[in-house]
Amino acid sequence: MELIDYLIPYGLEWLNLIVRWLHVITGIAWIGASFYFVWLDNSIRPPAAGSELARKGVSGELWAVHGGGFYNPQKYLVAPAELPKELHWFKWEAYTTWLSGIALLTIAYYCNAQAMLVDKSVADLSSLQAIGIGVGTLVVGWTVYDLLCRSPLGKHDLWFGIVIFVLIVAAAYGLTHVLSGRAAYIHVGALIGTIMVGNVLMLIIPGQRKMVEAMSAGRLPDPVHGQKAKQRSVHNNYFTLPVLFIMISNHYAMTYRHEQAWLVLAFIMAAGVSIRHFFNLRHKGRVEWRYPLLGVALLLAVAVAIAPARPKAVAVADPAAQMNKVAAIVAQRCVACHSAHPTQPGFATAPAGVALDQPEQIRQNAEKIYKQAVQLKAMPLANLTNMTEAERAQIALWFESGAK
C-alpha cells in the first residue's frame, strides 16, 4: 500500500510534466500560426488593376524573405480557379492544444481538487461541486459567446468585443468567489481557450470544408464562409495575450491572491488586448502608440495597486526563541508538502523544489516563506493545514527582525 501511495503521485507528476510540455509545444504552434496568418492578412497589398494576379482573382499578395529564401504568399478573393492537389489545413495545433490543456487541468486540478480547486476561506465546496463549476463555466461560456456571435451584435466588432470582455470579467468575478484564486484564473484561461478551439472546430474548419466541397463540385464557393472564418480568427488573435498570461499566472500569487483578483485580471487582460491591437494596426500600416502606452499604463497601475507593504525592521530580544517558534509552525503547516519526502496526498516532491525540513533550509527560504505565507497568504495551498493569522504574524515578526 505504501508503494502505491508513493507511485500514484509520482506517476501523476510525470504525467503532469509530459502533458504540460505537449501543451506548451502545441500552444506555440497554434498561436504562432494565428499570429502569422493575421499578420499576413493585414500585410498583403492588392495587385495592380488589370495585372495577371488581379485577373486570377488574387485579392492581395506580399513578398517576404526568411531562412535564405524568398516567399510570395497570395490570398484569393474567394478561391482559385482550380482546387490544388495538395492543400494544407491548420487545425491539429488548435485541437491538440485544447485537448492537452483539458488533460492538464484534470491532472493538476481535478485529480487533487481539495488542494488545487477549493479554498474553504472562499467557499466550502466538495470536490465534485468545484469540478462541476469549472466544467460548467466552459460549456456555458462557449454557448453564450457563440450565440452572441450569431446575433445582430456579432456584426458590430467594437461593441461585440466590449460585451465579450465584460462577460469574461464577470466570469472571473464569479469564479474568484467560489474557487481558489489560482483555480479561478486557470478556468478563465480554459474558458478563453475553449472559445478559441470552438471557433476552429465549429466554424472555421466547417466553413473551409464547405468551400472545398463547392470547388470539388465545380461551384463557386460562397464567400460568406470565408468572412465568418476570418471574423472568428480575428477574435482568437485578440484572445491570445490574455490567455498566455493566464497560462503563467500560477507563478505569480501576487495577482490571483489579491482581494480583488478578478479586477487585477481584468486590467492585465485589457493591457494584452490593447498591445495586440497595436500590432494588428501596425501590420496594416497604421502606427498608433496610444494602444501600447495604454497597455503599459494598465500594467503599471496594477503593479502599484497590488504592491505589498514593505516589512518594518523590528528588534527582538531572543532571536533563537523566535526561530524555534517559526520552525514549529513550518513543521506543522508547511512540511507536509515542502519536504524531501512529502506526506500530503498528491505531492511526490516538494513544490518548486523548496524543502523546509531543517532550520537552515527555513532560513535560506525566509523571504519566500514571508512573501507566500504573510504578504500573499498563498501558502499553505488553499490553507490546507489551517495556518492561523497569529502564526502568520509570528512569521512576519521573525522575518522583519532579520530572520535569524
281, 371: one domain:
no
402, 370 contact by CB (below 8 A): no
Higher pLDDT among residues 145 and 404, named by residue: 145
* Range name among 4-8, 100-104, 221-225 with the lowest pLDDT average: 4-8
For the chain, percent of residues with pLDDT exceeding 70 = 96
Per-residue pLDDT at 313: 61
The mean pLDDT of 25-39, rounded to a whole number, is: 92
Last residue of some domain: 272, 305, 338?
A: 305
In this predicted structure, what is the pLDDT of residue 376? 81
Q: Do 208 and 163 share a structural domain? A: yes
Bridge partner residues of 70 (DSSP): 65
pLDDT in tens, 197-221: 999 999 999 988 988 888 888 888 8
Confidence at 9, pLDDT banded by 50, 70, 90: confident
Arithmetic mean of pLDDT over the chain: 90
Nearest in space to 174 (alpha carbons), one of 140, 144, 128, 133: 133
pLDDT confidence tier of residue 312, bands split at 50, 70 and 90: low
391 domain residue, yes or no: yes
Give CA–CA dist 283/286, Å, rounded: 7
183, 111 Cβ separation under 8 angstroms? no
Contacts of 239 (CB under 8 A, 6+ apart): 192, 195, 196
* Whether residue 382 sits in one domain with residue 239: no
Average pLDDT for residues 5-25, to the nearest whole number? 84
Q: What range defines the domain where residue 287 resides? A: 89-305
Total domains in the fold of the chain: 2
251, 329: one domain: no
pLDDT digits (tens, 9 = 90+) for 270-285: 999 999 999 999 988 8
Whether 252 is in a domain gets the answer yes
Do residues 298 and 329 share a domain? no
Give the mean model confidence (pLDDT) for residues 233-255: 93
> What number is the average pLDDT over the span 96-107?
96
> Is residue 342 a part of any domain in this protein?
yes
Q: What is the pLDDT of residue 27?
A: 95
Considering the domain architecture, whether residues 256 and 177 belong to the same structural domain is answered as yes
Q: Is 88 helix (H, G, I), strand (E, B) or coil?
A: coil
Do residue 251 and residue 326 come from a single domain? Answer: no
pLDDT at 186: 97
Checking if the pLDDT of 7 tops 70, the result is no
Check whether 404 has a pLDDT greater than 80.
no
DSSP secondary structure letters along 276-312: HHHHHHHHTT---THHHHHHHHHHHHHHHHTPPPPPP
How far is residue 349's CA from residue 361's CA, in Å, rounded to a whole number? 16
- 355-372 pLDDT tens trace: 898 888 998 998 889 888
Higher pLDDT, 350 or 265: 265
User: Does residue 31 lie within any of the structural domains?
Assistant: no
Q: Residue 196 — φ and ψ, nearest 5°?
A: -65, -45
97 in Cβ contact with 30 (< 8 Å): yes
- pLDDT tier for residue 98 given thresholds of 50, 70 and 90: very high
Q: What would the mean pLDDT of 8-21 be, rounded to a whole number?
A: 86
d(CA 253, CA 347): 19
20 phi and psi angles, rounded to 5 deg: -65, -40
Burial class (CB in 10 A: 0-12, 13-18, 19+), 334: buried
Per the domain annotation, does 36 fall within a domain?
no
User: What pLDDT score does 203 carry?
Assistant: 92
Which of the four pLDDT bands, split at 50, 70 and 90, describes residue 1? very low
Does one domain contain both 149 and 184?
A: yes
Check whether residue 220 and residue 169 sit in a common domain.
Answer: yes
Q: Are 89 and 75 in contact (CB under 8 A)?
A: no
